[in-house]
Chains A and B, each alone.
Chain A
Amino acid sequence: MSTVGDAVFERLLQAGVTHAVGLPDSVTAPLMARFDAHSDTRWIPVTREGEAFAVAAGLWVGGRTPVVVIQNTGLLESGDSFRGVAVRMGVPLVTVVTYRGLAGMRGAGWTGSEPPDRSWLVRTDVDSTALLTEPTLRAWGVPYRLYESPDDVDRIRHTAEVERRPAVLLISRSGGTP
């Protein structure tokens, strides 16, 4: 059965992506495996997510077409690299981010679009990373889209290229709204 990672890989391959840089999780492991196995692409594993944005920026300056693949908790870690390297260099960088905790958050009755208050951030049944993902992207002014179909890969790539900056594609295990 085709996974979200397979579908995302096929669209990125068609778009000419050459390298994927990042740290995988259980959702993006198939995507990593496809980049690693294909003769026209390369998977570059890094030690921390902020490193991924700098390596990807260097790849782009060197004439390649990279994407970054990380989890939302790593996105929160990488704020200065995202801002200072990828954004300030104007890198049209598709960033695939696993939306960890999306299903649990929505199941608890929170949409994820607004900043949470303290009572939500300390709950044991909701992943605080999910609570902060979209509010952080909005605060940083980052264009983003929740993956619902393979066409969303093309849409987020178009956004990154037209706006000459990173744009985030949020993916979850179910591939769309849980």
Chain B
Amino acid sequence: MSKIMTVDILSSIKGAQPSQAVNKLFDVIKNAQPTNNNTSNNNHNNSVSINDLRDDVVIESSAIEKQIIIENFPKEKNGYLVVSKVIEE
């Protein structure tokens, strides 16, 4: 992963460039001095306790849910959902 990727590639947005309005915000962060530089010591931790994890079970979707998911898919041919052609690089 030594290849340098530009933001347009990273974002999958053609011709995307960093914006001045946003860079102004980032400059403030670069110059700021947090008193706590240890991100592992955070007090807004939303992680879930291991005793509180939900059961690892497969829940069957309803027929209507499956139907809508298929309807939403951009392209269908002969009963198959069609994705774009993948060209190996």
- Decide whether A and B assemble into one complex: no
Write the residues of chain A forming the contact surface with B, with a CB cutoff of 8 angstroms: none
Write the residues of chain B forming the contact surface with A, with a CB cutoff of 8 angstroms: none
